[in-house]
Amino acid sequence: MKVIIVGGVAGGATAAARLRRLDENAEIIIFERSGFVSYANCGLPYYIGGEIADKEELTLQTPEGFWERFKIDVKTYHEVVKINKDEKTLTVTDLKSGNTFEESYDKLILSPGAKPIKPAFSAMNSDKVFTLRTVEDTLKIRSFADEANPKSAVVIGGGFIGLEMAENLKKRGIDVTIIQKSNQLLGTVDRDVASFIHSKLRNEGVNILFGVNVTDVQVENDAVKILADCFEPIIADMAIVAIGVAPENTLAKDAGLKLGVKDAIAVDDRMRTSNEDIYAVGDAVEINHYVTNEKSVIALAGPANKQGRIAADNICGITSRYNGSGASSIIKIFDMTVASTGINEAQAKSLNINYEKVVLAPLSHAGYYPGATAMTLKVIYEKESLRILGAQCVGYEGVDKRIDVIATAIFAGLRADKLKDLDLAYAPPYSSAKDPVNMAGFIIDNVEKGIVKQFHFDDIPSLVNRNDIILLDTRTTYEYERGHVDGFINIPLDDLRERISEIDSSKPVYVMCQSGLRSYLATRILTQNGVEAYNFSGGYRLYRSIYEDALAAKSTFPCGIEK
């Protein structure tokens, strides 16, 4: 059997190695148009910033290594330009010699990945304007930064690549401005969680401009000039264009293979395309999002690796199926970590799902053990079924494991309230006896049983001027005096029982504290004394982050589209 793989990196390289493990006699060839067949795609920004010092560390496997270990023939700088599916041949161009030849196959795996979206900016091909996809792109940016010593950079786009590039350029001492067309960075999370990202970047000295539509990028007087609607031109020494990626579908489209959502290559759960001898994996394919049960394009390395293995299994006669992805992701922003899984609140709204959410602000590990830091954890679930829809977490220590636990729970079909029953590892340096994931489950259980009623940040504007309710802050007097929400009176939790006569029991009471715990205890006291009480989800820490982010709107929304 002869198997050709078009493209390496996560999907293609994984498929090749799995094929060899399953079939020692197969002829396996990888065609890769770049000079690197298996590299740490997700590590590229960190080489630019110096976090990864040696560029050799980016290379996971070389063509020579593939041959020595697996007897797989890797041909770099070879571009497949056409699939002749009726003849089961490929037209291939050797990019170094310029020669073109035909190569036959029995089975074909497409792993072309995704390509950066490149707008028709005037200076898109300038040596001062960059996109980031390959090792070659990385080397160009690193070389420019080393040799030209730029003092300023503009990053257009606030997704994963944009944020990682902003961090790593800033670490090189470059003045960085992020321009984002929408009203928040990192669309995998909701605006409330994103407020922590915005604050972190500002504190690290990164400038952010929201609601700005870049109309052109030019090079003038040896500098990059960014033109935008409603905003004066921005001058910088370099620019990174990171407005997203699109499935690399050229070969599949020209071959008449079926395409799906976003023109990604349509595949079944065995990773087969519409042609039974052609498989496709990675960022170029359409897959099932197992939370929404809708077709989606999820450009992440984890799914690509799994898909490569599954394609290899099926080619070798082993029935193996891809169950889809929950779109779990994580990013480091300086010393902060942001992670998510499933869908966010905005997506739940767009899908008309009847959902509920809980937001909590637990410590990363036991408070009495040194070094504990606060995190914000948001869990979204379907009201009727209690099916977990997604979660987001932002903090410093332990963010990754909380999202991974909830991602596992989603995949296993665990009900949201059952998060409280998970038996998770505990020792003071790592967690609390009631892990944050357990705490989310406890809150959901209380909400669904009517033991606690909630209100959220979006509710506050409609509450502050009402005379028929009481707004109560149960933090200490010291905490309250350092900052509080207008209209909230202060009765510390430990004084509430003695001062409960100050509360008009005929009025509903909306209660806030720093993290949501003391206010929950206050609602229990009030409820059992005949008072209707509501707990603020997320605590004053969340409110302050969102509020301070909104205060920055005047400077960060120059075009005035903030909502």
Side chain identity at residue 376, one-letter code: T
**234 CA to centre of own chain:** 28
**Two tokens at 245?**
């990626």
User: DSSP string of 298-341?
Assistant: ---HHHHHHHHHHHHHHHTT-------B---EEEEETTEEEEEE
Short-list 548, 473, 486, 547, CA closest to 514? 473
**Which residues are annotated as catalytic?**
42
DSSP 365: S
* Max CA pair span of the chain: 89
77: left (phi over 0), alpha (psi -120 to 50) or beta: left
Question: Minimal CA–CA distance to 437: which of 325, 382, 358?
Answer: 358
Strand partners, 209: 179
d(CA 249, CA 216): 26
Compute the distance between CA of residue 334 and CA of residue 309 in angstroms, rounded to an integer. Answer: 33
Which residues pair with residue 214 across a beta bridge?
228
**DSSP bridge partners of 216:** 227
Residue 411: phi and psi, rounded to 5, are -60, -35
Whole-number Cα distances in Å, 379 to 54, 282, 386, 390, 404: 39, 28, 11, 6, 13
Compute CA distances 331 → 139, 303, 359, whole Å: 22, 16, 20
- In which region does residue 118 sit, left (phi positive, over 0), alpha (psi from -120 to 50) or beta (all else)? beta
